[in-house]
């Protein structure tokens, strides 16, 4: 049997005990008898009580807790932003609750409901899904991906990079290296960052007199090393004459380097590649990855400072767009 609306107070009534005792049983601290524990656990099992319901009974200092939602904590780009946010919040006496959605809209919604129940003071969305509407009365900072509704009134802030510039810089660098057949690998999700990078890439091709070819645009459902490896394998097993590849994430490009190594394809002599992000790993791989840098540490600092100001009552709407920078290494 399942009851989504059962509360800790209702469990206490059905088990014939106090709310405090139910809380002690759930958290396994304090004193309670085995008989009491058995009654409480029978009610919990019968009504399929879950931890997110427990969050509704929590009472935290709303002014001191910030939810940080990230799409994939295993991606260095996101993990470094989350860590910087956490450190900067802690320095100012605030606590971060990190929530990894694994690129799942349903998980993101569930985390948001849990954070609301915990009465957190603000939420920072790092590359969050654009379908999530802002929560009334809870300040929000959006990092990297800008939902359309951010412009609709006060109470939110956006921090991002000039992704059009990033796409342009990446394609231009490959063109200046003498590459004529330049592919691009994007995240399949329809998000503004990817669209702008593609538009920058297209404009660079146009400016240098290279025709845009739809068949040279490749997309992956998930951003990871394995996806970079597999899309590159598929690309180079086709009949096109690709001699340059722009990956919209360093992680994808690093996965591709493994494929090139296994196939004895010389980089950059045979194919030049470039990424975006400039995560620390991009400087350590062999050959070191040429990339377009996003200042993700500044993302983190700006986000932490902005959410604290908003939680203190500053409702001025802000947008921060940071420039991107070409980082020359060994793959172009």
CB 235 within 8 A of CB 260: no
pLDDT category at 54 given cuts 50, 70, 90 is very low
Cα–Cα distance for residue pair 176/223, rounded to 1 Å = 27
Buried b (16+ CB within 10 A) or exposed e, 52-71: ebbbebeeeeeeebbbbbbb
CB 57 within 8 A of CB 118: no
pLDDT category at 153 given cuts 50, 70, 90 is very low
Pairing mode of beta strands 291-293, 325-327: antiparallel
- Res 3 pLDDT > 60: no
CA 314, 323, 129, 317: dihedral to nearest 10 degrees?
20
Residues 6+ apart with CB under 8 A from 153: 317
Cα–Cα distance for residue pair 87/21, rounded to 1 Å = 36
The closest alpha carbon to 278, from 161, 128, 190, 125, belongs to 161
The pair of three-digit structure tokens given for residue 18, joined into one six-digit string: 């106090």
The larger pLDDT score, comparing residue 131 to residue 37, is at: 37
Cis peptide before 83 (omega within 30 of 0): no
The larger pLDDT score, comparing residue 26 to residue 260, is at: 260
Cα–Cα distance for residue pair 228/256, rounded to 1 Å = 5
- According to the model, what pLDDT value does residue 291 have? 98
Domain boundaries, given as residue ranges, for the chain: 8-57, 62-161+296-323, 163-293
The larger pLDDT score, comparing residue 282 to residue 32, is at: 282
Distances (CA, A) of 65 to 89, 93, 116, 331: 9, 9, 11, 43
Task: Tell me the pLDDT tens digit for each residue of 167-220.
Answer: 999 999 999 999 999 999 999 876 788 999 999 999 999 999 999 999 999 999
In the CATH hierarchy, which fold is given to the domain comprising 163-293?
Answer: Rossmann fold (3.40.50)
Task: Tell me the pLDDT tens digit for each residue of 199-211.
Answer: 999 999 999 999 9
Distances (CA, A) of 132 to 30, 106, 125: 39, 10, 10
Cα angle for residues 118, 320, 175 (degrees, 5° grid): 125
62-161+296-323 and 163-293: identical CATH topology: yes
- Res 135 pLDDT > 90: no
The larger pLDDT score, comparing residue 162 to residue 56, is at: 162
- The class of domain 8-57 in CATH terms is mainly alpha
- According to the model, what pLDDT value does residue 185 have? 98
CB 254 within 8 A of CB 224: no
Task: Tell me the pLDDT tens digit for each residue of 59-82.
Answer: 445 558 999 999 999 988 999 999
Domain 62-161+296-323 is found in CATH 3.40.50.2300 = yes
- According to the model, what pLDDT value does residue 238 have? 84
Per the prediction, the chain carries an average pLDDT of 88
- Res 4 pLDDT > 80: no
- According to the model, what pLDDT value does residue 239 have? 65
pLDDT category at 150 given cuts 50, 70, 90 is low
- Res 53 pLDDT > 50: no
Average pLDDT on 3-31 reads 79
- According to the model, what pLDDT value does residue 149 have? 66
Average pLDDT on 308-326 reads 88
The larger pLDDT score, comparing residue 18 to residue 314, is at: 18
- According to the model, what pLDDT value does residue 50 have? 62
- Res 57 pLDDT > 60: no
Average pLDDT on 276-286 reads 96
Average pLDDT on 92-117 reads 89
- According to the model, what pLDDT value does residue 68 have? 96
Tell me the three state secondary structure of residue 155. Answer: coil
Say which DSSP state 224 is in. Answer: S
Least confident of 1-15, 30-44, 75-89: 1-15
Distances (CA, A) of 187 to 6, 96, 179, 231, 252: 40, 28, 23, 11, 10
Least confident of 21-30, 109-118, 265-274, 277-286: 21-30
Cα–Cα distance for residue pair 206/312, rounded to 1 Å = 48
């Amino acid at each position: 049997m399942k009851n989504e609306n059962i509360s800790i107070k209702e469990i206490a009534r059905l088990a014939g005990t106090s709310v405090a005792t139910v809380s002690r049983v759930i958290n396994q601290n304090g004193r309670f008898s085995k008989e009491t524990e058995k009654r409480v656990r029978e009610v919990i099992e019968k009504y399929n009580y879950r931890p997110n319901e427990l969050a509704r009974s929590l009472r935290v200092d709303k002014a001191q807790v910030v939810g940080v939602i990230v799409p994939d904590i295993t991606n260095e780009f996101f993990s470094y932003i989350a860590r910087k946010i956490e450190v900067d919040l802690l320095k100012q006496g605030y606590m971060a609750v990190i929530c990894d959605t694994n690129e799942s809209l349903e998980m993101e919604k569930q985390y948001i409901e849990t954070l609301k129940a915990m009465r957190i003071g603000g939420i920072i969305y790092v590359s969050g899904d654009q379908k999530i509407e802002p929560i009334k009365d809870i300040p929000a900072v959006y990092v990297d991906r800008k939902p359309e509704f951010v412009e609709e009134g006060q109470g939110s802030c956006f921090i991002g990079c000039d992704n059009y510039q990033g796409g342009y810089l990446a394609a231009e660098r490959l063109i200046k290296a003498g590459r004529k057949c330049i592919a691009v690998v994007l995240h399949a999700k329809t998000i503004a960052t990817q669209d702008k990078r593609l538009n920058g890439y297209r404009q660079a091709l146009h400016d240098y007199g290279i025709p845009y070819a739809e068949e040279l645009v490749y997309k992956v459902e998930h951003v990871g090393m394995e996806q970079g490896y597999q899309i590159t394998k598929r690309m180079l097993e086709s009949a096109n004459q690709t001699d340059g590849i722009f990956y919209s994430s360093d992680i994808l490009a690093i996965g591709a380097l493994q494929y090139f190594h296994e196939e004895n394809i010389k980089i950059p002599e045979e194919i030049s590649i470039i990424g975006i992000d400039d995560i620390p790993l991009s400087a350590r791989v062999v050959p070191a990855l040429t990339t377009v840098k996003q200042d993700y540490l500044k993302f983190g600092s700006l986000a932490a400072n902005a959410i604290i100001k908003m939680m203190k009552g500053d409702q001025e709407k802000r947008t921060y767009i940071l420039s991107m920078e070409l980082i020359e290494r060994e793959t172009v």
